[in-house]
Amino acid sequence: MKTKLVLNFNPEASNLPITHNLTAKYGLLVNILRAEIDEVGGKMVIEVSGKAESIKNGIDYLKEAGVGVRPIKEGVRRDDDACTHCGVCISICPTKALSLDRETRKVIFTEEKCVACGVCIDACPPRAMEILI
């Protein structure tokens, strides 16, 4: 099973070896999709994979450690009305979640490929891409 989680840290929690512990103690595979952490805490988007039971225990561990945990199904959303299909995003999206349909010349957003890295957010001129964190 795989889940994407948004983690919110306070300054104390940001010093804990959280991802290491999730792997070492709960046998979870952790993939960091996005991290914005400094001395005053921060945010992180991770994808964890493992048994459902282990994921649940891992989340409990995070909560006990004082980390805000929120699962996300959808990290990034596109406002289809706002999108002008300009294509600014297609060369900067690292996973090709945003790509050009050669036939219609529309820009397609493939949510399954999106890793919520956020690179497209401030690159999109009409601000059609929105990160739900």
Partner 1 sequence: MKKRIPPGPTSSGKSFADISTRAQNGDAVVMTAMEFKEFVRTNGIKKAAKEVDIVTTGTFGAMCSSGAYFNFGHSDPPIKMQRAWLDGIPAYAGMAAVDVYLGATELDDSNNMMHGGAHVIEDFVRGRAVRLKATAHATDCYPLKEIDTYVSLKTINQAVLMNVRNCYQNYAAASNTSGRTLYTYMGKLLPELGNATYCSSGELSPLLNDPLYRTIGIGSRIFLGGGEGFVIWEGTQFNTGVERTPNGVPKRPAGSIAVLGDLKQMTSEFVKGLTFTRYGATLGLGIGVPIPILDEDMAKACAVTDKDISTAIFDYAQQTRARPVLAEVTYAQLGSGEVDIKGRRVPTSPLSSIYKARRIAELLKKSIAKGDFVVTEPVQRLPLDRSFKPLDTMNDKEAME
Q: What residue type is assigned to position 23 of the chain?
A: T
59 binds, among ligand SF4, partner 1, none (CB under 5 to 8 A by kind): none
Nearest to 107 by CA among 99, 118, 119, 95: 99
Instruction: Please give the residues from 78 up to 97 whose contact with partner 1 meets the rule CB under 8 A.
Output: 84-92
DSSP per position, 46-66: EEEES-HHHHHHHHHHHHHTT
Minimum gap (Å) between residue 112 Cβ and partner 1: 20
CA–CA distance, 6 with 25 (Å, rounded to integer): 20
Q: What's the min distance (Å) between Cβ of 129 and ligand SF4?
A: 5
Phi, psi dihedrals of residue 23, rounded to the nearest 5°: -80, -50
Contacted entry of ligand SF4, partner 1, none for residue 122, CB cut-off 5 to 8 Å set by kind: partner 1
Residue 34 is a binding residue for partner 1 (CB under 8 A)? no
The residue ranges that bind partner 1 (CB under 8 A) are 84-92, 100, 104-107, 119, 122-123, 125-127
